[in-house]
């Protein structure tokens, strides 16, 4: 009888101990599961960071082709800003054209001054054209825009054969990518650059010289085409 009571008492103690230990066991199991999940996430993150992904490859591709234009009007806006900055706001009526897929830029701008008449005035006008062409070419070729050719044309007031004041070309300069890549713009002067340009032209006749030395009364007329 006594043995029966001892065994019964022992079973009750074992059951009580098991019941008391159950929450602790469940807590340990939950903690182990969370630890395993954390380790899995960490390992996945390391693998993802160490292996090249398609998104990183896309970023490299975009960076490598950042200067390649896909929209002519957007590039023309950038060109206009660069031209204004390079010309020191000496040009008005700036017009830019960017051809795709040829990546050719054509720039025109108009200077505001009296019509050159004397040899000194004509020489000064030609130097202004050469300087503006140089400054604009330098700015565009260093402006981060994909270019294969840049043509700059400067316009200004002249007299026609009837002594009417019109707007016509003063000078033009073209430069292609192959030559531009060989130019060190930091050490290049205006005259040296002018000699490196592929196609150049300077106006020498700004009016009718039949009545040279007279003072005609100018009128306003529409602008004809360039050279």
Tokens representing 198?
């592929």
Is residue 114 scored above 70 in pLDDT?
yes
Q: Which residue has the higher pLDDT, 101 or 14?
A: 101
What share of the chain in percent tops pLDDT 70? Answer: 60
Is residue 8 scored above 80 in pLDDT?
no
218 band by pLDDT with thresholds 50, 70 and 90: very low
Phi, psi of 117, deg, nearest 5: -125, -40
Determine the pLDDT at residue 53.
Answer: 39
Segment 17-41, tens digit of pLDDT: 455 545 545 554 555 555 555 555 5
pTM of the shown model? 0.62
Phi, psi of 206, deg, nearest 5: -105, 10
Is residue 115 scored above 90 in pLDDT?
yes
Average pLDDT of the residues of the chain: 75
Segment 144-190, tens digit of pLDDT: 999 999 999 999 999 998 889 999 999 999 999 999 999 999 989 99
Is residue 54 scored above 60 in pLDDT?
no
Is residue 65 scored above 60 in pLDDT?
no
Please state the three-class secondary structure of the chain as a single string: CHHHHHHHHHHHHHHHHHHHHHHHHHHHHHHHHHHHHHHHHHHHHHHHHHCCCHHHHHHHHHHHCCCCCCCHHHHHHHHHHHHHHHHCCCCEEEEEEEECCCCEEEEEEECCCCCCCCHHHHHHHHHHHHHHHHHHHHHHHCCCCCCCEEEEEEEEEEECCCCCEEEEEEEEEEEEHHHHCCCCHHHCCHHHHHHHCCEEEECCCCCCHHHCCCCCCCCECCCCCCC
Determine the pLDDT at residue 89.
Answer: 82
In what order do the strands lie in the sheet containing 199-202?
Answer: 92-99, 104-110, 149-159, 165-176, 199-202
Between CA 20 and CA 171 the distance in angstroms is: 100
Determine the pLDDT at residue 150.
Answer: 97
Phi, psi of 197, deg, nearest 5: -65, 145
């Amino acid at each position: 009888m006594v043995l029966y009571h001892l065994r019964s008492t022992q079973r009750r103690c074992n059951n009580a101990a098991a019941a008391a230990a159950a929450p602790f066991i469940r807590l340990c199991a939950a903690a182990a599961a969370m630890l395993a999940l954390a380790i899995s996430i960490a390992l996945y993150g390391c693998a993802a960071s160490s292996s090249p992904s398609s998104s990183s490859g896309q970023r490299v591709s975009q960076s490598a082709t950042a200067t390649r234009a896909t929209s002519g009007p957007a590039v023309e806006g950038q060109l206009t800003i660069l031209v204004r900055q390079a010309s020191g706001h000496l040009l008005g009526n700036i017009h830019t054209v960017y051809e795709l897929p040829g990546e050719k830029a054509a720039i025109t701008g108009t200077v505001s001054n009296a019509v050159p008449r004397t040899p000194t005035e004509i020489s000064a006008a030609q130097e202004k054209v050469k300087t503006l062409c140089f400054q604009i070419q330098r700015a565009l070729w260093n402006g981060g825009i994909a270019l294969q050719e840049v043509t700059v044309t400067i316009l200004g007031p002249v007299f026609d054969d009837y002594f009417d004041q019109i707007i016509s070309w003063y000078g033009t300069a073209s430069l292609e990518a192959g030559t531009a890549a060989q130019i060190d713009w930091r050490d290049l002067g205006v005259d040296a650059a002018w000699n490196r340009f592929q196609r150049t032209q300077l106006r020498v006749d700004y009016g009718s010289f039949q009545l040279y030395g007279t003072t005609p009364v100018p009128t306003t007329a529409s602008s004809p085409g360039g050279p």
